[in-house]
Amino acid sequence: MAKSSPLAVSKPSSSSGGVSAMVDCVRKQAAGWFADSETPLLAVILGSGLGGLADSIDVAAKIGFDQLPGMPVATALGHRGEFLLGRFAGVRVIAMAGRLHAYEGHDIHAISRGMALLASLSVDAVIISCAAGGLNSRYQTGDLVIIDEHIGLLHGQMGMAALCQQDTVRGAPSGLRCGRPTCDPEFADIVYQVCSAEGAAGRIHRGTYLAVSGPNYETRAECRMMKSWGADIVGMSTVPEVVLSSRAGLRTIAIGVVTNMAVPDAPMTASHEDVLAVSSRASERLQRIVGAIAASLSRYPLHHGQPQHVGNGFA
């Protein structure tokens, strides 16, 4: 696919700003792209090594994290740290290539700020991807896991009380979960259909994701503890994005790529380079899944509501 020339993006002033300032910055620097308001808008968050999808987007504008007021830069290996605005599979796409983590020294507000921006841009749906260690002994390296439940232990604390206290979503009741589902059933069916068509139905699962601060990989004793809690995969991200997206009322699906097995009775040495390699191979299947979900959006025209104004303690 031929790529259009990305728009030139200027740097903002060094002053910090809220999510609303970030929205204004994005809309100003990609005004022509936002003029098309009839085509569905899909948000995609790309985790470690899963940036291959970004190369398939017909990019209209690139905006680095450092070009947005108050947005920290990404320092983790395999995370580009930029937003890509363009088209993919017949819909408009805004992809967050890379994310921020607790182990980089960020608090919960900074970690979730990218998702707050996406929600405030009136996206119609959100696909979240991540690399994860497999705790469930039935899983294999390279498998995909639809995250239909999660356990949040970022910063060593169950839940996200600080985010819950300050985050404000217009029309949403208090509390991040609010009884809303965090996995869209139609999107989950599409994931199964894609994998089944490729003869890989046995490589897709539904499971519980455990978010920890990292950056170290798990000890054998920690793996046993995590499994006893009911976790199927473990990683260092994703949960803040899932709960914010769900609370904003957006159709959401999160998919984890099993990049290494964290099985205490069959210990294996994991490295970040190995994680990136497995993620890169899995990104081709993830790309086809994103394409299928995008096609489902384009088949059924959606009503574009007002921005969700996810403040996240900044606006």
Among 145, 142, 267, CA closest to 217: 267
273 is in an annotated binding site: no
In the block, residue with structure tokens 């007002």? 306
d(CA 34, CA 43): 14
101 is in an annotated binding site: yes
What does the DSSP assignment read for 241-308? HHHHHHHTT-EEEEEEEEEEE--TTS-----HHHHHHHHHHHHHHHHHHHHHHHHHHHHS--------
Residue 30 annotated as binding? Answer: no
Please tell me the distance from the alpha carbon of residue 96 to that of residue 63, in angstroms, as a whole number. 10
Cα–Cα distances (Å) from 126 to 17, 38, 276, in that order, read: 24, 17, 23
Quick one: how many helices (H) and strands (E) in the chain? Answer: 9, 9
The torsion of the CA quartet 252, 195, 293, 239, rounded to 10 degrees, works out to 20
Q: What is the rounded CA–CA span in Å between residue 88 and residue 39? A: 11
250 is in an annotated binding site: no
Q: Is there a binding annotation on residue 79?
A: yes
Secondary structure (DSSP) of 187-211: HHHHHHHHHHHTT-GGGEEEEEEEE
CA angle 301, 247, 203 (to 5 degrees): 75
Nearest CA among 218, 233, 197, 240 for reference residue 45: 240
Tokens 């006893």 -> residue: 228
Measured distance CA(162)–CA(102) in Å, rounded: 14
Is there a binding annotation on residue 216?
A: no
Check the annotation: does 138 bind a ligand: no
**d(Cα 125, Cα 174) in Å, to the nearest integer?**
22
- Whether residue 100 is annotated as binding a ligand: the answer is yes
Q: Annotation-wise, does 260 bind a ligand?
A: yes
Amino acid at 9: V
Q: Annotated binding site for phosphate: which residue ranges?
A: 48, 79, 99-101, 131, 237
The binding site for a purine D-ribonucleoside consists of: 218, 260
